[in-house]
Amino acid sequence: MIYRETGQFKTSYAEDSQIFPIAQDRYVFWALMGFAFLVVPLVIDDYWEKSILLPFLVYSLAAIGLNILTGYCGQLSLGTGGFMAVGAYAAYKLMTGFPGLDMVIVVLASGVITAAVGMVFGLPSLRIKGFYLAVATLAAQFFLIWLFNKVPWFYNNSATGQISAPERTAFGVQVTGAAASSSASYLFCLIFVVLMGFAAKNLLRGRIGRSWMAIRDMDIAAEIIGVDPLRAKLSAFGVSSFYIGVAGALYFAVWFGGAEPTEAFGINVSFNVLFMIIIGGLGSMLGSFLGAAFIVLLPILLKTALVDWFSLGTAMAKHIEITTLGALIILFLILEPHGLARLWAVAKEKLRLWPFPH
């Protein structure tokens, strides 16, 4: 009744090709943006920042990155954790090497460095594909973590082998370190997520995105109709790694404030991000956000439910969480292989016909 595009006429090409063609979608989007930028910073506290909002924002970026590579370009990657580590260590080296550098530049430069590393590890994708490529990305994962563990230059010879973020500012506002306010850190991440989300959406709608999808759907056919696999695959690895690198930099510098490579960027992180895009929806921007929200919230909800209500031990709650997560993955793959994003699309379709479905 409310959600209907009847009477919304498009009179220009710009209107026709906008991201949200239905006016109601735009209202909801701008309302969400207004809420996220104006209301949330006023009410945010430390718990919401550190356990829900920053994880959601950082993982959204990582999920967008992996979705570009796996969902849109069809190249399965299990090296997300390793690439996030590249972003984090690049940010660390830049922050400590150039103390005056603005955080915005640090984060973007970390993304660029990760993109370069990602493209190097993407080179095998030109010759191998599928599971074989997954093994190649595993090589990246283990090699990078080993590198950050072993080579003292990366962690500035600190005795513990850990890295911790010094206090740095973005446009004069402190965003990293203990003294950074919750709202500043949150807004800093939010701006990155919104701008890079838009950039990704537009990349995906354009020529490059279409060449990625052609490669995903059938690489040989794509090559025959004139898509250069070298350019398509390497650009997918580059762009994807850029997003993952920025996510890694924010993960380390703003969210955690410190990191130890084996724990923070292990293979589990790779799987978590992969789960996000499976549950959210492979090849869907909205899916990246929904999946990130789901995977961030599920453990918190389960933990609250199991530990606080049923008073189980934390270890048991952890085991049940793992089982639930696995079962959900299987359930989603069986019932809705296109993930939460498809469920949302179906719901919208229903809503358009409501209350007269025939």
Task: Collect all residues with Cβ–Cβ distance below 8 Å to 344 and sequence separation of at least 6.
Answer: 286, 290
Q: Compute the CA torsion angle 209, 68, 55, 87 (nearest 10 deg).
A: -100
Buried b or exposed e, range 99-133, using 16+ CB within 10 angstroms:
eeeebeebbbbbbebbbebbbebbebbeeebeeeb
Q: Return the residue of 191, 297, 307, 320 that touches other proteins, per CB under 8 A.
A: 320
121, 140 Cβ separation under 8 angstroms: yes
Distance, CA of 170 to CA of 181 (rounded, Å): 13
Pairing of strands 258-259, 169-170: unpaired
Q: Return the residue of 8, 158, 202, 323 that touches other proteins, per CB under 8 A.
A: 323
Q: Phi then psi for 276, rounded to 5 degrees?
A: -60, -45
For residue 72, give the DSSP letter.
I
Helices 207-217 and 229-250: angle between axes, nearest 10 degrees: 110
Least separation in angstroms between CB 26 and other proteins: 34
Q: Return the residue of 31, 39, 120, 221 that touches other proteins, per CB under 8 A.
A: 221
- Nearest alpha-carbon partner for 338 in 275, 296, 284: 284
The reply on whether position 326 binds other proteins by CB under 8 A is: yes
261, 318 Cβ separation under 8 angstroms: no
The reply on whether position 152 binds other proteins by CB under 8 A is: yes
Whose Cβ is closer to other proteins: residue 38's or residue 224's?
224
What tokens does 187 get?
A: 């807004």
- Pick the stretch among 51-59, 87-95, 247-255, 322-330 that binds other proteins (CB under 8 A): 322-330
Site pattern 279..318 for other proteins (x: CB under 8 A): ------------------------------------xx--
What tokens does 357 get?
A: 């479905």
Least separation in angstroms between CB 35 and other proteins: 34
The DSSP element (H or E) to which 299 belongs, if any, is: helix 285-303
The reply on whether position 274 binds other proteins by CB under 8 A is: yes
- Pick the stretch among 23-31, 53-61, 162-170, 270-278 that binds other proteins (CB under 8 A): 270-278
Least separation in angstroms between CB 197 and other proteins: 24
Distance, CA of 289 to CA of 296 (rounded, Å): 11
Least separation in angstroms between CB 237 and other proteins: 15
Site pattern 9..48 for other proteins (x: CB under 8 A): ----------------------------------------
Q: Return the residue of 32, 33, 300, 327 that touches other proteins, per CB under 8 A.
A: 327
Site pattern 226..265 for other proteins (x: CB under 8 A): ----------------------------------------
CA atoms within 13 A on the CB side of 297: 10
- Pick the stretch among 100-108, 150-158, 190-198, 294-302 that binds other proteins (CB under 8 A): 150-158
What tokens does 99 get?
A: 């103390």
Q: Return the residue of 172, 179, 224, 226 that touches other proteins, per CB under 8 A.
A: 224
- Pick the stretch among 32-40, 196-204, 206-214, 217-225 that binds other proteins (CB under 8 A): 217-225
227, 92 Cβ separation under 8 angstroms: no
Whose Cβ is closer to other proteins: residue 94's or residue 279's?
279
Query: Can you tell me whether residue 226 is helix, strand or coil?
Result: coil
Query: Can you tell me whether residue 70 is helix, strand or coil?
Result: helix
Whose Cβ is closer to other proteins: residue 102's or residue 321's?
321
The reply on whether position 120 binds other proteins by CB under 8 A is: no
Least separation in angstroms between CB 302 and other proteins: 12
Return residues touching other proteins (CB under 8 A): 76, 124, 127-128, 130-132, 134-136, 138-139, 142-143, 145-146, 150-152, 218, 220-221, 224, 267, 271, 274, 278, 315-316, 319-330, 333-334, 337
